[in-house]
C-alpha cells in the first residue's frame, strides 16, 4: 500500500482552492467598492449639508443677481447661488481630509488612490418655495420633487421657504 496522494487528488485540491480563492477575492473586491461608494455618498451629503448651512448664514446673497455667484444651475437652468466645494472648504464650512493638504476633500476608489476632483464641483444653493402648488380645498400641497402631501404631513403656512442645495451630478456614480 502506497502512502501519499495521487496526482489527480492533488490537482483536484488545487483546483478547489483556486475556486475558493477566486470567490473570496470577488466578494472582497465587491465589499471594498460598496464601502468606497457609501463613503463617497456620505461626503456628498456632508457637502450638501455644509452648503445649506452656508446658505442659511448668507440668505441675502442667495438671490442677489449682482453677485458673481448668482447664475444658472446646470441641472435645471434656473438661477441659484453657485459655489464650489473648494470655496466652501476655504470659507471653513467643509473640513478637508488630507493631512498633507487640508484644503482637499478626497474621493476614495479612484485609480491614483485619492482624487481631489470634488474641490472644483459646483453646488447650487437656493432660498426657494419648497411647496410648488398649495391646494387649500383638498388640504394638500406638492413639494419640489412633485410629491403630493397632506397639510398634516408638514406644511405650516408661511414656513414653505427654505434653503436647498444640490450638486450638478453625483461624483460617486449612480445612487
pLDDT of residue 132: 55
- Segment 81-107 shows an average pLDDT of 77
Query: What average pLDDT score do residues 148-165 get?
Result: 57
CA 56 to mean position of chain CA atoms: 20
Question: What pLDDT shows up at residue 150?
Answer: 47
Q: Is the pLDDT of residue 137 over 60?
A: no
The dihedral sign for the CA sequence 79, 88, 145, 61:
negative
- pLDDT over 50 at 25, yes or no: yes
pLDDT confidence of 159, banded at 50, 70, 90?
Answer: low
**Residue 61 is placed in which grid cell?**
446673497
Alpha carbon 124 to chain centroid, angstroms: 13
User: 50-64, 89-103, 155-169: which has the highest mean pLDDT?
Assistant: 50-64
pLDDT of res. 114: 57
Is 90 exceeded by the pLDDT of residue 163?
Answer: no
Average pLDDT over residues 67-90: 87
Task: Please give the average per-residue pLDDT across 144-161, as a whole number.
Answer: 50
- Are 123 and 87 a contacting pair, CB within 8 Å? no
Amino acid at each position: 500500500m502506497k502512502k501519499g496522494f495521487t496526482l489527480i487528488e492533488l490537482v483536484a485540491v488545487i483546483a478547489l482552492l483556486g475556486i475558493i480563492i477566486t470567490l473570496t477575492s470577488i466578494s472582497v473586491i465587491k465589499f471594498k467598492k460598496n464601502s468606497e461608494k457609501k463613503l463617497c455618498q456620505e461626503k456628498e451629503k456632508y457637502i450638501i449639508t455644509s452648503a445649506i448651512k452656508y446658505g442659511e448664514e448668507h440668505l441675502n446673497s442667495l438671490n442677489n443677481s449682482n453677485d458673481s455667484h448668482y447664475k444658472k444651475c446646470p441641472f435645471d437652468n434656473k438661477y441659484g447661488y453657485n459655489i464650489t466645494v473648494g470655496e466652501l472648504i476655504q470659507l471653513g464650512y467643509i473640513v478637508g481630509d488630507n493631512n498633507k493638504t487640508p484644503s482637499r476633500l478626497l474621493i476614495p476608489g479612484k485609480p491614483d488612490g485619492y482624487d481631489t476632483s470634488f474641490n472644483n464641483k459646483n453646488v447650487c444653493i437656493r432660498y426657494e418655495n419648497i411647496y410648488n402648488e398649495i391646494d387649500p380645498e383638498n388640504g394638500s400641497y406638492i413639494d419640489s420633487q412633485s410629491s403630493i402631501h397632506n397639510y398634516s404631513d408638514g406644511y405650516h403656512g408661511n414656513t414653505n421657504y427654505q434653503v436647498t442645495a444640490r450638486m450638478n451630478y453625483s461624483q460617486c456614480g449612480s445612487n
